[in-house]
Amino acid sequence: MRSRKDPLYHHAVIKDKQWLWKRILIVDDDEDIALTFKAGIEDNNNKDGPDKRIEVYTSNDPNLALSEFKSNFYDLWLTSICHI
């Protein structure tokens, strides 16, 4: 079982209007970039009312994020493209 501090922890939410909620996963190996995007999204969160919510999850390990990915859970996945 995952702890709440784990970046990929998914809690169960039961709400009447949960279908209005959106979930975004931000994956970047640079923690500062991921947290900057998260803060920007969360600063604008809930401006359209309390029934519309955006939950933002971050991960700094792309392999872990891909292995833990749950289809139909996220509405948007943002990731950086790395050139090796």
As for how many domains the chain has, the answer is 1
Q: What whole-number percentage of the chain has pLDDT above 70?
A: 64
| Amino acid making up residue 6 | D
The strand pairing partners of 23, in sequence order, are 55
Tell me whether residue 37 is in a domain.
yes
Q: What's the pLDDT tens digit per position in 38-49? A: 998 888 776 666
Task: Give residue 22's pLDDT.
Answer: 85
Is 34 within the bounds of a domain? yes
Q: What strands lie across the sheet with 54-59, from one edge to the other? A: 54-59, 22-27, 76-79
Between CA 8 and CA 57 the distance in angstroms is 7
Q: How far is CA 32 from CA 43, 71, 82, in A?
A: 16, 26, 16
Q: Has residue 18 got a pLDDT over 50? A: yes
- Domain span including residue 49: 18-79
Residue 3 covered by a domain: no
